[in-house]
Structures are given as C-alpha cells and as structure tokens.
Structure 1
Amino acid sequence: MNLFQSIFRGGESRGRYPESLIDAAIERAVDGTDARLRLLPGYRKRLRVPVIHAIDQVVALVDAIPAPLVAGRREHGEDPRLSAVFSSAADMLRIFGRDPALTAFLTTQERVAAERVTCVLLAERVERNILGMDLVGDQVRRDVPQVAVSFTGHRLVDPRVDDAEMRRALQRRAFDHLLALALNRIAEVRVEREDLIRQRDLLRRKHAALERGGWTFEEAQGAPPDPAALMAELDAITAQLAVLGTDEGVLRAHLGILADALAESERQFWAEELALSLDAMNIRRDAGDPSARRIVLKELHNARGRRLVMLPLIITPGEIPPREDFVAAAERYLYSHGS
C-alpha cells in the first residue's frame, strides 16, 4: 500500500461504508504502525470495529468543518476572523506567498485550470497577560490588566481545487493522525531487552518519517521530503523490524494499543468551538462590550496536549505577491555596493 495515497474517495456517509474502505483502512492502520501485526491470527477481526469507529469520528469531524472563507485583501477588512488571525491584509498575503504547501500545489498540473485554491489554515493561539491602556468611564487609565490574543505559526495544509477534494484530503490526514498517535504510544512502551529496544528505536524512526511525510497536523521540520525516498526509508525500517523477529506477546501488546487508540478516537483527536470576544487590537473583552467582536473558530486538540486553530480558506493566487528571490536580491545588493 502506498502510504501517501488516500483511502477515502469522497462522499462517505457516517456509518455506511463500503467493505473496500473498511478493508483498506484496516491495512493502512497496520502499515502505518507495525506491519508485523499481520503475523497475528485474527488481527483484521480485532481491528474491524475500532477502525469503523475511527472512520466515523474522522467523517464527523470533517463534516463539521464550516464552509471555506474567501481570504483576499478586501475580505480581510470585512471578516473579523481574518483580521483577528492575520495582523493585516498584506501580512496575510505574504504568509500565503511563503507557504511551502501552497507554493508546491501552485506548480502542479492540477492547479493550471484553477482560479481559486481551497485549503485549511492552521495556527497556534497564544494568550498573554499584559498591562495596557483602557477607557474606564470617561477616563483613560494606564497599566490596566488585559489579555492579548495572537496567532502564530500560520501554515496551510491540503490545498485543492475545490472544497470536496480538500475535505477528502483532510479525512485522510485525520485518520493518519490517529495512527501516528497510536504509533507514538507503541514507541513509548518501556522495554529492557536489547532486541526490543532496537525495535522501539525503529518504530520511533518510523513515526518521525511519517511526520515528515505529512501524516499529522504537526508542522514538518525542514524541506518537504521526496515521496519515493521517504517510501524507501519506510520500507527499510519495515525490513529491519522483520529481521529482528517477532515476539507474539509484544505484537499482541502493539495490536491492543492500536485497537484502543482507534476505539477511543474521539479522546485522541477532536475539534472544539472556540468563541472569542476581541476588540480591534485583539484584546479580550466582555461579550457585552461595545468594542468587542464575536469571533467563532474551530480548534483542533489531540491527546498529547497540542491544539491548533483551524480555518478553511479560499485563496485567489492572483492576489498573492510574487515570492522574493533572495539569491537574486543578494546579488543585486552586492552589485550595487560593489560598483
């Protein structure tokens, strides 16, 4: 199975899945964690109900995502969600122009006929206690305790030509994120025997490789990997695990961890509504304050304590400023100062 292809085809209705999807999801769960689980008799039966439960959770989570918001220069000044998440329209468009996922998508054949791109923005919400100025009655007071809200680490995931394709990609990412969480739990199991320590280290390497391949909602470190090279690395890890042999007790423990993670998927990965009352400077206000804007966002959470604000967007590539060529800029600088 190619771990970078989706098992979802679109149009999945919660609780009504073709057997082909369930079978593919079971095999993906095994490939995404410990492929040696296939050596255990009955592994498919053990995983069937947990996998269906996880698919239910993934479909419900993606279905609940609101319609994408048009994110352009004009819309930034009109929609409080955009003005809260991005400091300015120019900053928003610069972030789009620098985003590696969007940049890569815009070079694909799929993009040629598309005038707009649909994707999901992820960002971290940061709240800080500050002392600021405020109007109390008719007097301006200094050093008033306030809570300032900001958003950092903006990045785009799963850019596609339309909303349906984007949601299909998000379903795959959400299901894979559950598998990555399960694999992380498997790799954290305490072991003492030397051969088991080697297995654990290989599973940790596999988890890191899958994260680099975009299997989670976490930000990938470094340049995006070449899919062929990443698959070769994963195949090599699988081969090394096979050489180390199989301890049935260990594999049954791994199978149990995977099944439990999928069966309790709503406690592993979920989305919550985030309602904020912010003024124009992103300072928290009481809901009844005349300066307050009510902003409702979705925030993703996982069992490891990570949280990310999620905002689906429609982007017009023609509005994005051209990406600066830093090499050419450096050459121009050197030339101008050398003459």
Structure 2
Amino acid sequence: MLDRIRRGGDSATAPAAQEREGVDAAIERVLALHPQLGLARRSRTRLAPAVATSFAYVRALVDAVPAAREASAAAWDGDPYIHAWFAGPDEVASRISRSAELRAFFADHGDAPEAYAVLGMDMAERHVLGARMEGETMRRDVPQTTVSFNDHQVRMCAGDEAQLRMDIVRRLLDELALAGLARGAADKSRRAALERERALLKVRLQLLERQGKGIRAVIGGDVASDPGELARLEEQVEENARELSGLGLREDALERELEQVRAVFVQPGRHLSVSTRRLALDRMNVVIEPGGAGRDAAPDGRPGMPAGPPAGADLELRIARLPTLPPRVRAFSLVRFARTSLLPEKSVFEEAEQLLSSGLWS
C-alpha cells in the first residue's frame, strides 16, 4: 500500500517536474541565442516566471491539437480531412515525400516503420458559380465557396506523437525568444538612428548659426536671419535628445534587452495564436452552408450529411497565425506517414520536372 501511495505521489509531481525542466531548458536556449543576456543582473531568475507563463500557454495550444491522422492513399477515401487536403489518393505520398526533413528522419532512424510529423498547408477560398441539385432540378450559376489546400510542407518529424508534441512546444518557445530578441534589436536600431539624426541636426544648426559671413552678410538673404528656422531646428534637437534619454543609458542596454524578452514571454498570446476553423465541405471541397439545401436533417433533428452524392463532412481545422510581415495563416495537422509510402527520390524529382514543364508550356 505504501508503494502505491509513493507511486501515486510520484505521478502527481511528474507534470510539475516536467514543466520545471521545460522552463529551465527554454531559458538555456534563450541564453544560447544571445549569450550576453546571461550577464544581465539575475537573468535566469527574472526570466523564469515569464517563461513559465509561456510554457503553460504553448503546452495548452499543443495539447489541444487533435491526434495524428494517417496520411496515406488508403486513408484518402475514408478520412474526410485527408480527402479535403489532397486532390487525389496518389497526391498524398507525392506531396509528403518531397520533404527533405522526412527523408532525413527515415535515413537517421532505419528501424522506424513510420514518422509522426507536422503537415502545414496554405488554405485558399474562392467564390465561384457552380451547379447544385435541388430535389430533381439542377440549378446552375449558384454562388458557391470552394476551399483548396496547397504548399504542403513537412518540416518537423519524430518517432512518436509524444516526442513530436514536445518538439513543437520547444520550437514555439524558441519563436517567442526570437520575437523578444527582435524587439531588443529594434531598440538598438532606434537608438542608432536617433544618434545619427542628432548629429546631423547639430551640424545643420551650427551651419545655420554661422551663416552670416561673405556676401549674405552684406545683402541679407542668409537662412540664419530667419529666427523661425533656427527655432524649429533647436526644437528638433531637443526632441531628439528627449527620445534618446527615454531609451536609457547605453550601459543599461543588456537590462533593456532582457526586459524586452521577458515582456514577450509574459504575453505569449500576442505573438502566437492558433484558432479553430469549422467548415462543412462536400467531396469536391465546396462549402456546405448551415441549413442549406445540400444538407438534410438527421432523424433525431441534428444536422446530417448532404442529401445524395457528393457526401460531405464537418471539419475542424487548426489555423496558425505566423508572425511575419505581412502576417500569414497556415492550416496544419499532425500526421502519421509510413516508411513504405515514401516515394523514391527520383520519382519526386521527375514529378517536379513534369509540373514545371507543364507550367512553362501552359
């Protein structure tokens, strides 16, 4: 009984220990990205609570992602997600086999029968006119919305799903660290720009104040005789000096950089976001509107499948917002891909050449 109690206590403290390890590892990666931050006063102690906040936030995002789906030609007909993401059963292997990271994983893990991976895709929506059956009547020129998925990419792979999820958590924490360091770099750039501007303004002010020699001192017309211009320049110099003082002393640069990184980790939701997009799609990736003619009610009154072929399904898509300029959004999912489904590298290159040739001649 005592053994069971001890084991129960160990299992209760395991998540907390795992979180501490994850936070400590994230802090070490931050300092590895910018080693000088370690010289700031109590850098690790000050970062720890903020990084713990981000760790909990990121872990919740990753835990909410559904289990990995089998990505295969066989799954294309039965899994509505795989069917929506790929145009045909043969396209599943051809798209995923282009991943250099996936090939490297199988090469490094010769005994792994499958790989767990993150599949990312661009999702595009188009408004078109199509045809639809309403009872026994075919209606044409019906406004419809179609959804397509392109630019399939696999960048992260692991041997099991738990390891893949932990790798995603680490990558997202690294992304937050990079965002914080970028803010620190912007602070440095702003200081450099202000210092250059101040130097130029002072030189111009000196030139204007000295203008009064030569012919202009005799006949007038020198800029220095315009007190308004001098006043404006002096005001610009003072404003510039105020902005510089607001940035703090140059000696405090490491402290400010550490605060920039800490500020990002305190509010991770401002820099990383994953949303859920719910769509009802038929087999041709046409959006089925709620309560529309393409969807019947099930016997118990709940929404059912579209009446007659093509059948459809309700999908919940995970959408990540990328912190790029301009911001981009990508649909993504965890997938399982078998080693036996991996196409030979030559076949992938031949397919790419055919696509390129068709594009050039079309």
Q: TM-score, normalised by structure 1?
A: 0.70
Residue 162 of structure 1 is matched in structure 2 by 160
SS at match of 1:30: helix
Alignment partner of 1:311 out of 333, 344, 361: 333
Per the TM alignment, residue 248 of structure 1 is displaced from its structure 2 partner at its CA by: 3.1
The C-alpha deviation readout for 1:160-186, integer Å capped at 9, x for no partner, is 221122122212112112222223333
Aligned to 1:182: 180
Look up the SS of the partner of 1:180 in the other structure: helix
How does 1:120-199 map onto structure 2 within 5 Å? 120-189=118-187, 190-193=189-192
- Inter-partner Cα distance in structure 2 for 1:12 and 1:100: 39
Q: Name 2:258's counterpart in structure 1.
A: 255
Cα deviations across residues 214-250 of structure 1 (Å, max 9, x unaligned)? xxxxxxxxxxxxxxxxxxxxxxxxxxxxxxxx93333
Contact 1:14 1:59 in 2 (8 A): no
1:48 aligns with 2:48: yes
- Candidates 106, 113, 116, aligned match of 1:115: 113
Unaligned runs of 5+ in 1: 1-10, 198-245, 331-339
**Sequence identity percentage:** 27
Instruction: Kindly indicate whether the alpha-carbon contact (under 8 Å) linking 1:123 and 1:309 is maintained by their aligned counterparts in 2.
Output: yes
Q: Deviation digits for residues 18-56 of structure 1, max 9, x if unmatched?
A: 655433322322333x33222321222221110111111
Q: By how many angstroms is 1:79 displaced? A: 0.4
1:323 pairs with 2:345: yes
The question of whether the paired residues in 1 share the 8 Å contact of 2:26 and 2:174 is answered with no
Decide which structure has greater helix share. 2
Question: 2:230 is matched with which residue?
Answer: none
State the SS of the aligned residue for 2:104.
Answer: helix
User: Which residue of the partner structure matches residue 25 of structure 1?
Assistant: 26
- Rate the CA distance shift 1:299–1:90 in 2: closer, same or farther, 3 A: same
2: CA distance, partners of 1:14 / 1:174:
19
Which residue pairs with 1:81 in the alignment? 81
Show the counterpart of 2:267: 264
SS in 1 for 2:67: coil
Task: Single out whichever of 131-140 and 93-102 deviates more from structure 2.
Answer: 131-140
AA in 2 matched with 1:297? L
* Matching residue of 2:220: none
The answer for the alignment partner of 2:223 in structure 1 is none
1:307 is displaced (CA, Å) by 2.0
Secondary structure of residue in 2 paired with 1:66: coil
Bigger Rg, which one: 2
CA distance in 2: counterparts of 1:153 and 1:120, whole angstroms: 13
How many aligned positions are there? 268
